[in-house]
Amino acid sequence: DGADLVHAHWLPTGLVAARLDKPFVLQLWGTDVELARRARSLARRVVRQARLVICPSRALADAARELGAGDVRVIPSGVRVPESVGEPAEPLEVLFAGRLSPEKGILELVDAARGMKLVVAGDGPLRDRVPGALGFVPHAELGALYERAAVVACPSQREGFGVVCAEAMAYGRPVVASAVGGLLDLVVDGETGLLVPPRDVSALRSALERLLGDAELRRRLGTAARQRIQEHFAWPAVTDATIAAYEEALS
């Protein structure tokens, strides 16, 4: 009862917040876009009532505006940046971490990475089609996998933000990512990683081979990736931006 402002994550929570006699900020995530397509009138009503809508990427911000959101702010998901990172393992590993489902591009990656040492951390409906997958790996254990990896692959067909991509970059690892959604906010092609068209097995393989075969390129991209995360996506920057959004919503 004593709150001045409600911060609602996800559209369903926003529906609850809209029924309260309080101003609220709505935070949208990738799955909200799919939900909005199924219940468009309801989604439009919620986003229009929010004082401010926060989205983790420009792609989601555009989707929020299409739903009628008035004031939209892009504030990424915060990422922890480790103080130090060791050297990758030998032989060189390509890491995929995420749900084993079609939209994550895992089957294209398995095809593209033939002959490479591919480490797959995750579970999902395609588990039986991914030989040697580790299954679900607790988040606390992912850091060790990022550190071992020479390259991290993020071949999603769509992505609201790209937490795995951001975390890999925080560990100073070059990424090969699809040029879609929130991944476009994270990866500067040729500077902090390599971007490839989604579903393009040939382009994905070429990018992986390029990085695995060039230690200096991996070092340069990884160093720039870690710096980009520290400057724009680490928790201090995200916290400051969120507090500023609260102040604006209450003004």
Q: Tens digit of pLDDT for each residue in 47-93?
A: 999 999 999 999 999 999 998 998 999 999 999 999 999 999 999 99
Structure tokens at 244: 């500023």
pLDDT tens by residue, 217-250: 999 999 999 999 999 999 999 999 999 999 999 9
Cβ distance 24 to 6 under 8 Å? yes
Cis amide leading into 88 (omega within 30): no
What is the percent of the chain with per-residue pLDDT over 90, rounded to a whole number? Answer: 88
pLDDT tens by residue, 182-222: 999 999 999 999 999 999 999 999 999 999 999 999 999 99
User: What is the rounded average pLDDT of the residues 130-136?
Assistant: 96
For residue 1, the model assigns a pLDDT of 64
Instruction: For domain 93-232, give the CATH number.
Output: 3.40.50.2000
Mean model confidence pLDDT for the chain:
95
Q: Which of 29, 36, 35 is nearest to 60 (CA)?
A: 29
Diameter of the chain measured on Cα atoms: 60
Please determine whether the domains at 6-78+234-250 and 93-232 fall in the same fold group of CATH. yes
Cβ distance 219 to 88 under 8 Å? no
| Domain boundaries defined on the chain | 6-78+234-250, 93-232
Fold (CATH) for 6-78+234-250:
Rossmann fold (3.40.50)
pLDDT at 35 over 90: no
Confidence of residue 135 (pLDDT cuts 50, 70, 90): very high
For residue 118, the model assigns a pLDDT of 99
Supply the pTM of this predicted model: 0.93
